[in-house]
Amino acid sequence: MTYFTILGLSLHHGYSISDNLNVEVLVEDLPECLDGYKIGMLSDVHAGPVIGKAGIKKHVEALNVDEPDLILLAGDMADGPDTQVGEALEPIFDMVNKPRDGIYFVTGNHEYLHGGDGNKWMQFWESHGVKALNNEMVSIPPRNVRPLAQNGCNSTFDLAGTSDYSEGGSDINKAVSGFHKDSLHVLVAHQPREALRAGELTGDKQIHLQISGHVHAGQIFPLHIFDYNSNKGLFTGFQVVKNTKLYVGEGTVGWGPRNRLFSSNERTILTMKKRAEDINEDLLEKQEDRGSFVWGLRLAWIAVVLQFVSCLGLVCSPPARKLLSSLCGIGRHGARGLQL
C-alpha cells in the first residue's frame, strides 16, 4: 500500500500544472524603470517521448498568465533531433510575439544527446523567431528600439547566454565581452556550475544574476545526493557564488519517467526589485515552502546510511557471532546448554 501511495504521489507531482513560481530578486543599483521587470523561465522541458505538444501547450499557457516581459528557454528543451521532436515545441514558438522583449534560448546537455545537435537546435529556434545565445550577449531591449524613459532611465540591461559544456561549447569570457559599463548583467546558463566561473568575474564583466536549470532538484528520491554532489551543492533556489547571485529552477517537466518526489514542476517568474522593502514576504514564504527537496536530500542521506549499516551488519554479524561463540562457548547449542 505504501508503495502505491508513493508512486501515485510522485506521478501527481510529475504531471502537475501548478501555479507559476513567482520569485522576487533584489538587485542593487537597479534602474528605476526596471523595477518590477519580469523574466519568465522554462527549462528542462525534454520534449520527446514523455511529453508532446499538448502537454507543453499547458505549461506555455500557464506561464503567459503572469505576462513576463521576456522569456528564457534555459536548455534541455528537447530529447532528440529537431527533425523528430521539433513539432512538439510549436506552442513555444507560437508565442514569440507575446513577451514584450522576446524569447531567448541556450543549449543544455540534452540538445547534444539522443541524436540531437546543439548547432541545429540553435538554428531551429532562430528560424522560429527565438534568439539563440551562443556565448554572446544582447541588450534588452536593443538600445535603438526603446527611447529613454521620462526619468532618464534607458530601460536596458545586458543578457548573456552560454552554450552548454557539451562538446566544449561554453565560453563565458566570450559571452560577457560585450557587456556595457554600469549596466545590469544577467547570465542564462543551463548548468548552475557555470556560476563557479561567473562568480569570479569582476568590474565591468561582473555578472549580477545567473539563471539556470539542469538539476531538477533531484527529481525523484533518492537521486538528490548524486545531483547535489555532482553540481557542487548548486542545487535549487537562490544562492550566492562569490560575486554572483544564482537562481536554479527545478525544471518545467524533468527527464525520463514523469515521476517527481521531493521536487516540483516549475515555471518561474523572476521579478527584479530595486528596494528590499518592496519584496513580498508572502511570495518569499511560498518559495521557501517549495523547498521539499531539502527533505528529499536529508532522507536520501538517511537511506544511504541505513543501507550501509544493513550491509555492514550482513557482512559482520556472522563472524561476530562465531567469535562470541568461540570465546564464551555461547552459540546456538551453548545457549541451550545454559538453559538446562
- Give the pLDDT of residue 56: 93
- Give the pLDDT of residue 238: 87
- What is the chain's mean pLDDT, rounded? 79
The closest of 254, 252, 245 to 209, measured between CA atoms, is: 245
DSSP label at 143?
T
Is the alpha carbon torsion for 100, 104, 110, 115 positive or negative?
A: positive
Rounded to 5 degrees, φ, ψ at 307 are -65, -40
- Give the pLDDT of residue 333: 42
- Give the pLDDT of residue 307: 56
Burial bucket for residue 231 (CB in 10 Å: 0-12, 13-18, 19+): middle
pLDDT category of residue 82 using cuts at 50, 70 and 90: very high
Q: pLDDT by residue (tens digit) across 3-23?
A: 456 556 555 555 667 778 899
The set of cell numbers assigned to 328 is 564464551
Q: pLDDT by residue (tens digit) across 133-178?
A: 999 999 997 554 554 444 445 568 999 999 998 877 899 999 999 9
* pTM of the entire predicted model: 0.81
What lies within 8 Å, CB to CB, of 8 at 6+ separation is none
d(CA 135, CA 172): 6
Name the pairing type of β-strands 136-140 and 157-162: antiparallel
pLDDT over threshold 80, residue 305? no
DSSP label at 128?
T
**Across 180-186, average pLDDT:** 90
Q: How far is CA 45 from CA 56, 94, 122, 299, 324, in A?
A: 8, 16, 16, 27, 58
* Kind and range of the H or E run holding 92: helix 90-93
pLDDT over threshold 50, residue 336? no
What's the angle, vertex CA 146, arms to CA 142 and CA 150, rounded to 5? 140
Q: What residues pair up with 161 in beta bridges, in sequence order? A: 136, 188
d(CA 319, CA 325): 10
pLDDT category of residue 330 using cuts at 50, 70 and 90: very low
Edge-first strand listing for the sheet containing 185-189:
136-140, 157-162, 185-189, 209-212, 244-248, 237-241
Q: pLDDT by residue (tens digit) across 25-43?
A: 888 778 888 889 999 999 9
d(CA 159, CA 175): 9
Pick the more confident residue, 133 or 262: 133
